[in-house]
A and B are shown apart, each in its own frame.
Chain A
């Protein structure tokens, strides 16, 4: 807590300092231009819906799928791999969820109105952010550029979704001048239980989320700026229908101070450094589930300090980014079970016995434009990962004598080649990289997984997971039509997965046994996607996506959570101030499911969605009103990745109004 106070005092001082400095003025500089070029103005909204959650936005990307335990906090799977294998960062900052059940992926701690863009990199291309196998997801925060004069911008959005009575209000505002930029956002969502396709209520699917963010940037001189950012997120009373317990409260504070220096001459163009601190607390309990045999509390905490420093170099047709990542994370998770006779002694254990992870690594990406039509990219990372388990005696119960500390070296390499020939473009690439086991995989202790109903035990002695990947893509693009096909193939040595242990017995009463994280000799993963776009008329567009994936373990049996053949197709029509969109998406029957890892066969489903919006002006403010329906035919379904086959939401009519200032 004291450290937190220090950070705050520091932030306050910085803000104070800016008030004084604000008085001065300076001339327009290169900085503005560069920042304007750098500031991407992608909106966080899907074609379908303009008031999406971060999860919904990610879901519209074709290499992301989700594990869902309810209506909230979906776990994003990148290339059909879970979050241990990917890196999720906010502006390059590493944040680790505080829930042993992965109920708080980093994506839950932001809101769509404080993000500008989500940068998804597949495989080792994502290694700029650290050691990864699946790739990286970097959530980019909104950051307004310095601009002459006094500029105020803002947007307010409100809406209601009828299925789960979700009412939301999102507002964001920014101020920019020559010297100072302030970005702020605030949002609130409250939803009740949703109903499934049979019009039955899915109990414990409500949620309540509040998010606020503030960023202040100050131009320290013509070529440099200082930026202080903070995000506060609070979720209350979040139900997880697929779990035996709910979230009573989670809070995250994500702060950073960044300094950016531009260089007018020389090979070094930009040097961007940031120190950050974030603290996450996540309190799960089952006070809302009186039917449970055992009352249990599962609080978790995760605190991270870090540094990220990046240099962009450029000379002629060669450019390069070099990034230093360093962070220190402390993950703590407790479980306390209450006996039926409450006067008796409670039962306590750590599910994360105060595990420290320290990582430091240097990554490099290089781009070389060989010609106008071809580009070579290559890069690599060298990282050191250090783990320390304070209460290692917990780990000794299953792994007697295992060392309290563990240091791992995590190298990675990747290369890719792009070629444009007329309307066609092709790419091939390959990569190699190590990753260290996650806190749960290494040091988890009786972490209950309600998907396969096993208690999971970590193994500190697990080997590094080593990934070898190849990828290729081919595309065609002209004025009317664009088609792109992408494939990637991962051969992952020492693939970490839970296997039944013939040791010990379950601790959680719903559990059927104990699984230990073990390394398979190898596993393979294949992902394929096909995208097409066609402009039928000038104002009528078609878009379609088809994805297929296959994952096999070393016995050639299926890996769990691999998305079956899935499709998405949509038509988009605009007429004057109206836009109408209709889309159909679904998964085919899951043939390649894995009973061994607790999966059952999931039937196919399809979802038909429609939406319409109308743009008009209230005074001078552009206003958009939208109405639409998801799962129009109220189909009853659950997907391959829904825990406990919890049914998804039935027909949902949504409305939204957005005013831009």
Chain B
């Protein structure tokens, strides 16, 4: 009987040894992406009797879309400033001293429920030795207007699902598409959210810097963003997915659609931006051919993602 137990034990050892581990799917989805849901303070500075605190996801400004929360506190009365007219202007200075901006909400609105001002900014490049970003913030309390500016740091966005692209449309206007969600996609139907913005060319001569009319951006309204997601990896042969939904504008101004990712890895979101009349502003259709061994051709307007 003893050897019988021995056999059972041996079988058990054989069976339990060198098994391939099952993939931890949740961990697999977070290899390349991290989902940030918490707003943390990015910067805080004082001007006269006020303290301004700016929050963004994960406490960092990234290249691409950033929702910003602003709190202004009167340090004398120790009360927070509510319902003030607050303006928010990001300015980038390049190596040659040229100043430009990026899509942003200029007038930012107070959210009484949350107790902060809500805006957004789509940084078009990260800070480096030649590129400086500054925020110009104006606000008014009791007819007393305060103007402050503060240098900030814009970091590289390593999560490609929050990637962005800037381009000149066929109408010669300058457009920006920035991905807002999903931060950490799954092999699933994902609700795809993007912001689409446009640079408003100034019509008047520049006034005193910073003249907001020279740095004006607005949300593009009632356009449609046609979507064709594909895997560019040569071995995937221009693989695509079914049941995707083109992006249309929601009540909050952002554009909503559905993207299906059939597996993890590199994907290219090929877009065609149509205006309200269906005229193509930018983008070309891509081949739907299955071409194993050949890297998938990207359309004229696209954003690469990875998860």
Chain A contact residues, CB within 8 Å of chain B: 1, 4-5, 8, 11-12, 15-16, 18-19, 22, 182, 184, 212, 214, 216, 230, 232, 234, 251, 253, 279, 281, 283, 293-294, 299, 301, 332, 334-337, 339-340, 344-350, 391, 393-394, 396-398, 400, 446, 501, 503-507, 509-513
Contact = CB atoms under 8 A, between A and B. Distances in A.
Nearest to A279: B15
Contacts of A253: 11, 15
Interface string B272-291: 00000000000000001010
A8 B12 contact: yes
B262 A446 contact: yes
Interface stretch (B21-29, B131-139, B246-254): B21-29
Interface in B135-152: none
Given A212-B11, A397-B242, A345 B266 contact: yes
Given A281-B20, A334-B23, 17 more contacts: A1-B16, A8-B12, A16-B5, A18-B1, A22-B1, A214-B4, A301-B22, A348-B263, A393-B187, A394-B187, A397-B241, A397-B260, A400-B189, A400-B243, A504-B240, A506-B290, A507-B262
B234 interface: yes
Nearest to B15: A253
Interface string B217-252: 000000000000001011111111111000000000
A143 to B, nearest CB: 17
Given A15-B4, A509-B236, A339 B265 contact: yes
A125 to B, nearest CB: 35
B187 A505 contact: no
Contacts of B4: 15, 182, 214, 216
A53 B62 CA distance: 64
B293 A349 contact: no
Given A182-B4, A214-B8, A232-B11, A345 B31 contact: yes
A345 B264 contact: yes
Given A1-B16, A340-B234, A347-B236, A504 B241 contact: yes
Contacts of B20: 281, 283, 299
Contacts of B25: 350, 391
A513 B262 CA distance: 15
Contacts of B236: 294, 337, 347, 507, 509
A232 B265 CA distance: 37
Nearest to B20: A299
A465 to B, nearest CB: 25
Contacts of A507: 236, 239, 262-263
Contacts of B231: 347
A357 to B, nearest CB: 18
Given A232-B11, A339-B235, A15 B5 contact: yes
Interface in B155-206: 186-189
Q: Which applies to chain B's interface (DSSP): helix, strand, loop or mixed? A: loop
Nearest to A506: B290
A623 B43 CA distance: 90
Contact of B22 (A212, A332, A396): A332
A154 to B, nearest CB: 16
Interface of B: 1, 4-5, 7-9, 11-12, 14-16, 19-20, 22-23, 25, 28, 31-32, 186-189, 231, 233-243, 260, 262-266, 288, 290, 292-293, 306
A506 B262 CA distance: 10
Contact of B235 (A212, A279, A283, A509): A509
A512 B290 contact: yes
A344 B266 contact: yes
Nearest to A513: B290
A345 B32 contact: yes
A511 B233 CA distance: 16
A11 B8 contact: yes
A8 B8 CA distance: 8
A507 B241 CA distance: 9
Contacts of B306: 345
Contacts of B187: 348-350, 391, 393-394, 397
A345 B240 CA distance: 18
Contact of A15 (B1, B243, B293): B1
Nearest to A282: B20
A396 B244 CA distance: 12
Contacts of A11: 8
B149 to A, nearest CB: 40
A230 B16 contact: no
A279 B14 CA distance: 13
A4 B231 CA distance: 40
Contacts of B233: 339-340, 344, 347
B265 A347 contact: yes
B188 A396 contact: yes
28 contacts: A4-B12, A15-B8, A184-B7, A214-B7, A214-B11, A216-B4, A251-B15, A293-B235, A294-B236, A299-B22, A301-B22, A334-B22, A339-B266, A345-B265, A345-B306, A348-B28, A348-B264, A350-B25, A394-B187, A396-B188, A397-B188, A397-B241, A397-B243, A398-B242, A504-B262, A505-B237, A505-B241, A512-B290
A4 B242 contact: no
A509 B237 contact: yes
Contacts of A510: 292
A11 B237 CA distance: 51
A433 B39 CA distance: 59
A624 B234 CA distance: 58
Contacts of B186: 393
B229 to A, nearest CB: 11
Contacts of B8: 8, 11-12, 15, 214, 230
Nearest to A1: B16
Nearest to B266: A345
A241 B20 CA distance: 24
A505 B239 CA distance: 6
A246 to B, nearest CB: 15
Nearest to B267: A347
Contacts of A340: 233-235
Contact of B188 (A184, A230, A334, A393): A393
A398 B15 contact: no
Question: Of residues B28, B187, B241, B260, which shows the largest number of chain A Cβ atoms within 10 Å of its Cβ?
Answer: B187
Question: Of residues A281, A283, A397, which shows the largest number of chain B Cβ atoms within 10 Å of its Cβ?
Answer: A397
Contacts of A344: 233, 266
Contacts of A214: 4, 7-8, 11
Contact of B263 (A5, A349, A509): A349
Given A347-B264, A507-B263, A393 B23 contact: no
Contact of A232 (B1, B14, B28): B14
A293 B293 contact: yes
Contacts of A332: 22
B218 to A, nearest CB: 34
A274 to B, nearest CB: 18
A214 B3 CA distance: 12
A75 to B, nearest CB: 24
A518 to B, nearest CB: 15
A230 to B, nearest CB: 7
Contacts of B7: 184, 212, 214
A511 B28 CA distance: 26
A19 B23 CA distance: 42
Contacts of B235: 293-294, 337, 339-340, 509
Question: Of residues B22, B235, B264, which shows the largest number of chain A Cβ atoms within 10 Å of its Cβ?
Answer: B235
A62 to B, nearest CB: 37
Contacts of A348: 23, 28, 187, 263-265
Nearest to A248: B20
A8 B240 CA distance: 47
Contacts of A336: 23
Contacts of A345: 31-32, 264-266, 306
A301 B1 CA distance: 32
Question: Of residues A22, A184, A294, A332, which shows the largest number of chain B Cβ atoms within 10 Å of its Cβ?
Answer: A294
A512 B22 CA distance: 29
Contacts of B22: 299, 301, 332, 334
